[in-house]
Structure 1
Amino acid sequence: MRIDILTLFPGMFQGPFSESIIKRASEQKQVELFLHDIRDFSTDKHRRVDDYPFGGGAGMVMQIEPISRLIEKLKSERHYDEIIYMTPDGQRLEQGIVNTLSLNNNIMILCGHYKGVDHRVRDHYITMEISVGDYVLTGGELAAAVVVDAVVRLIPGVISDETSALTDSFQDNLLAPPVYTRPAVFNGWKVPDVLLSGHQAKIDQWRESQAMERTQRLRPDLLDD
């Protein structure tokens, strides 16, 4: 998989992309990550990429011209399955979206900033708009890193035990059951006896009931879906 990220602040990705699963996936060539500085495609001598909004109002708007130049350059080199814009008013990121994105070959992610991008970018280039929650971040970089992490971990071979991802929360619209490891007793706090029984059918039944109970208690909206 190839992921191209269009951003004003490439340095913000150095931490998330140089650690853990994303680092390993990059080193093993299971994912190719490319960061593109939108300012490099500005014709302004000061590399300016924003301007005042037509009609007045507070804040600045990212200009269409440098974004268009960069997108057109990348599109001339390969086909993109999705061109994603990270924005608070996009569709809420959910596991089903992540699952679908993980099956793609080439993804482009545009990180917004200021009051957003000139809407013509969204009208004519963007194929998917994603939000990571009903709140506003300074820019789309952190949100884009979340999407990349969620997608990359589902690429076959990235996680050594591929069945692990299939039992994560939200894969079946349920929260995951509680998990425990050694020691079996700590400070008098015991692991549930069923998990130590060795009876796999009973363990599976316990996990299923716990997942249902936790979902009903903490996220009943998932059951409505």
Structure 2
Amino acid sequence: MTWRATVLTLFPETFPGPLGVSLAGRALAAGLWALETRDIRDSATDRHRSVDDTPAGGGPGMVLRADVVAAAIDAAGGAPDRPKLLMSPRGRPLTQSRVMELAAGPGPLIVCGRFEGVDQRVIEARGLEEISLGDYVLSGGEIAAMALLDACVRLLPGVMGTAESGAEESFSHGLLEYPHYTRPQAFEGRPIPDILLSGDHAKIAAWRRAEAEALTRERRPDLWAAQAGQKAPKNTTDG
């Protein structure tokens, strides 16, 4: 079965955008995955195709209506166990492990929020999983949805030229990726580290691991703390 993504958005013309080029675009053209975009406004019931209203309790902005979003989700159909996602700055941060889970499934349905957000009742009623790309706010969920889909699509069978390409990347083993080098051997007085030209694969692997650990310690202390916790020996007592 082809991995299929369905995106519910107020701006379907945004897609495929970057997903139509490079790895994702070639895979889309080859039928390795499928992308369906649906306009949330098609589920509006009035002649103005209204999708939002003022926040209950007052406040600025507008909120996407529960009935309209629910109708759009229901119209999209799909298997009951299909992941239903809402791109939201208050969601759980997207991780590589979650990307791998999504890539191994049938493909998600993604709701792209706008304005002040989506009525909480439809989030609960349709079991939407809120996902965030980081601690910042975008104008809408479309760009975030593209990032999530790109991360998933590149892991699908046949998309990357070499399956091993996805195995040694940042976050694959809880660490940031080690530095990479290629020709020329010297660039503005900076040579490729000698160890990488030695042909000693064991020493190269050890160097790469050490570099990955050093980068992670420096740039992502949260990841390093988790990595260190995994390494820490468990306390044992004599029974």
| TM surpasses 0.5 | yes
Q: Deviations over 1:60-116 (max 9, x none)?
A: 0111222111211222x5444210011111001111111111111131000000011
Instruction: Give matches, 1:150-169, under 5 Å.
Output: 150-169=151-170
TM-score of the aligned structures, taking structure 2 as reference length: 0.90
Residue of structure 1 equivalent to 2:230: none
In structure 2, relative to structure 1, the CA distance for the partners of 1:146 and 1:105 (3 Å cut) is same
Residue of structure 2 equivalent to 1:40: 42
Instruction: Give matches, 1:142-181, under 5 Å.
Output: 142-181=143-182
The answer to whether 1:24 aligns with 2:26 is: yes
In structure 2, relative to structure 1, the CA distance for the partners of 1:173 and 1:217 (3 Å cut) is same
Residue of structure 2 equivalent to 1:134: 135
3-state SS of the aligned residue for 2:108? strand
Of 7-16 and 139-148, the range deviating more from structure 2:
7-16
The answer to whether 1:5 aligns with 2:7 is: yes
Instruction: Give matches, 1:198-209, under 5 Å.
Output: 198-209=199-210
Distance (whole Å) between structure 1 residues aligned to residue 81 and residue 52 of structure 2: 26
Residue of structure 1 equivalent to 2:113: 112
Residue of structure 2 equivalent to 1:101: 102
The answer to whether 1:84 aligns with 2:85 is: yes
Distance (whole Å) between structure 2 residues aligned to residue 45 and residue 184 of structure 1: 66
After superposing on structure 2, the runs of 4+ consecutive aligned residues of structure 1 that deviate more than 6 Å are none
Unaligned stretches of 5+ in structure 1?
Answer: none
TM-score of the aligned structures, taking structure 1 as reference length: 0.95
Distance (whole Å) between structure 1 residues aligned to residue 84 and residue 14 of structure 2: 20
Distance (whole Å) between structure 1 residues aligned to residue 155 and residue 209 of structure 2: 23
Give the CA deviation at 1:157.
1.1
- Paired residue type of 1:200: H
Distance (whole Å) between structure 2 residues aligned to residue 78 and residue 210 of structure 1: 44
The answer to whether 1:62 aligns with 2:47 is: no
Distance (whole Å) between structure 1 residues aligned to residue 187 and residue 70 of structure 2: 58
- Paired residue type of 1:190: P
Distance (whole Å) between structure 2 residues aligned to residue 141 and residue 114 of structure 1: 13
RMSD: 1.2
3-state SS of the aligned residue for 1:171? coil
Aligned pair count reads 224
Identity in percent: 43
- Paired residue type of 1:34: E
Q: Deviations over 1:181-209 (max 9, x none)?
A: 11111222100011111111111111111
The answer to whether 1:211 aligns with 2:212 is: yes
- Paired residue type of 1:23: G
Distance (whole Å) between structure 2 residues aligned to residue 70 and residue 131 of structure 1: 22
> Is the Cα contact below 8 Å between 1:61 and 1:115 reproduced in 2?
yes
Unaligned stretches of 5+ in structure 2?
Answer: 227-239
- Paired residue type of 1:97: R
In structure 2, relative to structure 1, the CA distance for the partners of 1:80 and 1:4 (3 Å cut) is farther
> Is the Cα contact below 8 Å between 1:82 and 1:108 reproduced in 2?
yes
